[in-house]
Structure 1
Amino acid sequence: MTKRFKGYRVVQDGDRFYGEISELTTDSLKAGEVLIKVAYSSLNYKDALSASGNKGVTKNYPHVPGIDAAGVVVFCGDGTFSTGQEVIVTGFDLGMNTWGGFAEYVRVPSSWVIELPHALSLKEAMCFGTAGLTAGLSVHKILSSAILAKGESIAVSGVSGGVGSIAASILLKLGYQVTGISGGKNDDFLHNVIGLEQIISREDFINTYNTKALSPQRFAAGVDAVGGEILSGMIKSLAYNGIVSCCGNVSGHGLDTSIYPFILRGVQLSGIDSVNASVGLRKIIWEMLSSEWKPDNLQELCEEISLEQLPEKLHLMLSGGARGRYVLKHDPS
């Protein structure tokens, strides 16, 4: 049965790309075993790129972005999920070349779908979304790869954004001392919402920790969401046997360092990929996010928005003015 629904569709007109709220039908969706009525989605930097016509993210237009979706199963052709079951979809090809969560319905392979943990609501799942999953994978990597005592100092970059704000919140809850690295002017958000006591500007961090082959041993570990000179500075300022998990490149894809941090201090650099992470690992991280890693301030990290507000928030993400997470709520009717 064909269903009609609303979605934010990005259209190409020559060299110009623009978004519009359109009436769509399930006949337009790709083949897949699971049809989901989406209750919430969320905004990520990759969505902003897709919505701006970045062909490195999305090859063909018209397109519906949204690499995250949380909702209810309407139909499952292979029996993996039951009608009415609450589920999450993040990553894989959703929102890239498969129409995504900025519409009220998605259809995806059952292998992309995870049952919603009992301790999470659909909205909370999208307060995390891909950013939260990435933050969780980053925290999991550093905690499983290094022996860190409570109270040790961990650097987190891009701390005003989705990944950084959630990673910092998790680490603070777990009892670590977090130094946030921020390029914006969101001190109220960083201090009062995330709870950071130590914040350093991007410029000061680079000038302090990325001018020599080795910098003073300042941090036991780091979560880097931006790349470039910040990542280089983190590596150079790690203490002996420290580790940095790296998941972003908005500040550059280059890496200016030497072998000294690796052979003189035994540091590790670990890449994080949330797009193609195994379902088994995803389930582990989602369970942690729904329980002992769940920040007490999770709802405060998120701003709920409508389809009509998408253009403004996507522009903020591209311009570096976003803070925390934006959660898109669809009409429940």
Structure 2
Amino acid sequence: MALHFRALVVDRQEEKVESSVQTVEEARLPEGDLLVKVAYSSINYKDALALEPDGRIVGRYPHIPGIDAAGEVVKSSDKRFKPGGKVIVTGYGFGVSQHGGLSEFARIPADWAVPLPKGLTEREAMALGTAGLTAAMSVQKLQDNGISPSSGPVVVTGASGGVGTLAVSMLARLGYEVEAVSGKQEAQARLLALGAARVLPREELLPEELRPLDKQRWTGAIDCVGGAMLACVLSRMKYGGAVAACGVTSGAELPASVFPFILRGVSLHGIDSVWASRGLRVKLWKRMATDLKPRRLEELISEIELTEVPQAAKELLRGASSGRKVVVLDSGER
């Protein structure tokens, strides 16, 4: 008997893109080693763009978006995974070049799956998702460069966004003195509750005239914004400081000079969670179940149904979303 299940399907007719919850047959899923019964997914910026006509994310229609998923293996042709095991799926081509996690079932290559670590539920894993993995990679990069809590204060830009919020919480849990930068006044109380020592208004880091070198302030930084914000952060780093750059919400240009690098020994590290090695993923998901598990994670979660995803995506694109939207999938054969 053929397996039928619900999925959010995006389709395009000329210049018009429409999304709807449809009944899908297993035969429409791509080839892969694992068939996963998805318990939870989440909403990310890429998912929101996939629902837009000019999002430039989807290359082929009809398409099932969703760059994150957590669920149970029901079929496996790979000896590393047995039916009944719980897995997390993020990155690679999931939800972009092939059908993704906003579906009750997904089929993937085994190398794309990470075992759900002890200490983390499927729901919590999707509250973290790609955003959490990106934040964890950024924290790990600072630690790899010798930036410890005793080194001095660190800054997180775009702190009210998904990656920024989780990065603030992870760093605070590790004992860092965190300064969170946000343009949203309403986010201040939440960021302080997550452990930020101070919340700085975005305008404070965007002076009318950007100096190549400014007063030294931070030993480490996680920048989720890019553009002029990243340039300003670089100019204020202490000698030997490290910056992890993981976002471009303010633009891809970098109006900075080489002075922070050659006069203060500052290092700039790019963070890419899409093609990160599987070994690093396994390591960081284990950390996110232990020492990097964000404080008050439950308070960041809002559950939505599959039918509510299009509206949630629009809110995300216009900057009206907060916390982490976890999509509940009522998986089951129909």
Q: TM-score range by the shorter chain?
A: over 0.9
Q: AA paired with 1:124?
A: E
Q: Distance in 2 between matches of 1:332 and 1:316?
A: 26
1:184-263 matched pairs, under 5 angstroms: 184-187=184-187, 189-191=189-191, 193-207=193-207, 211-263=210-262
1:103-252 matched pairs, under 5 angstroms: 103-150=103-150, 152-187=152-187, 189-191=189-191, 193-207=193-207, 211-252=210-251
> Deviation per CA, 1:57-82, whole angstroms, max 9, x where unpaired?
21111111100000000101233310
Partner of 1:71: 71
Q: How far is the alpha carbon of 1:181 from its aligned partner?
A: 1.1
Q: Distance in 1 between matches of 2:292 and 2:55?
A: 35
Q: Distance in 2 between matches of 1:98 and 1:194?
A: 35
Partner of 1:58: 58
Q: Distance in 2 between matches of 1:235 and 1:193?
A: 27
Q: AA paired with 1:274?
A: S
Judge conservation of contact 1:184–1:321 (CA < 8 Å) in 2: no
Q: Distance in 1 between matches of 2:98 and 2:271?
A: 22
> Deviation per CA, 1:147-200, whole angstroms, max 9, x where unpaired?
433372111011111100000000011111111111223235534642434112
> Deviation per CA, 1:8-43, whole angstroms, max 9, x where unpaired?
111112111121111111111110110000000111
Judge conservation of contact 1:91–1:130 (CA < 8 Å) in 2: yes
Distance 1:319 1:55, change over 3 A: closer
> Deviation per CA, 1:257-301, whole angstroms, max 9, x where unpaired?
111100110000000010010000101111111011112311112
Distance 1:172 1:11, change over 3 A: same
Judge conservation of contact 1:71–1:87 (CA < 8 Å) in 2: yes
Q: Distance in 1 between matches of 2:230 and 2:108?
A: 35
Distance 1:193 1:330, change over 3 A: farther
1:30-109 matched pairs, under 5 angstroms: 30-54=30-54, 56-109=56-109
SS of the aligned residue for 1:41 comes to: strand
Q: Distance in 2 between matches of 1:192 and 1:220?
A: 20
Q: AA paired with 1:100?
A: G
Q: Distance in 2 between matches of 1:54 and 1:120?
A: 36
The alignment's TM-score, normalised by the length of structure 1, stands at: 0.96
Q: Distance in 1 between matches of 2:158 and 2:214?
A: 21
Aligned length: 332
Larger displacement relative to structure 2 (291-300 or 122-131): 291-300
Partner of 1:15: 15
Residue 317 of structure 2 corresponds to residue 318 of structure 1: yes
Q: How far is the alpha carbon of 1:203 from its aligned partner?
A: 2.1
SS of the aligned residue for 1:63 comes to: coil
Q: AA paired with 1:90?
A: T
Judge conservation of contact 1:161–1:325 (CA < 8 Å) in 2: no
Q: How far is the alpha carbon of 1:55 from its aligned partner?
A: 5.7
Q: AA paired with 2:13?
A: D
Judge conservation of contact 1:9–1:20 (CA < 8 Å) in 2: yes
> Deviation per CA, 1:203-259, whole angstroms, max 9, x where unpaired?
221128x71111111111100112111111111110011111011111100001111
Identity among equivalent positions (%) equals 40
Partner of 1:274: 273
SS of the aligned residue for 2:206 comes to: helix
Q: Distance in 2 between matches of 1:2 and 1:291?
A: 40
Q: AA paired with 1:236?
A: S
Q: Distance in 1 between matches of 2:221 and 2:188?
A: 23
Q: Distance in 1 between matches of 2:151 and 2:268?
A: 22
Q: Distance in 2 between matches of 1:18 and 1:196?
A: 40
Q: Distance in 1 between matches of 2:220 and 2:135?
A: 14
Partner of 1:297: 296
Q: AA paired with 2:313?
A: L
Distance 1:81 1:8, change over 3 A: same
Partner of 1:288: 287
Q: Distance in 2 between matches of 1:89 and 1:184?
A: 31
Q: Distance in 2 between matches of 1:332 and 1:151?
A: 47
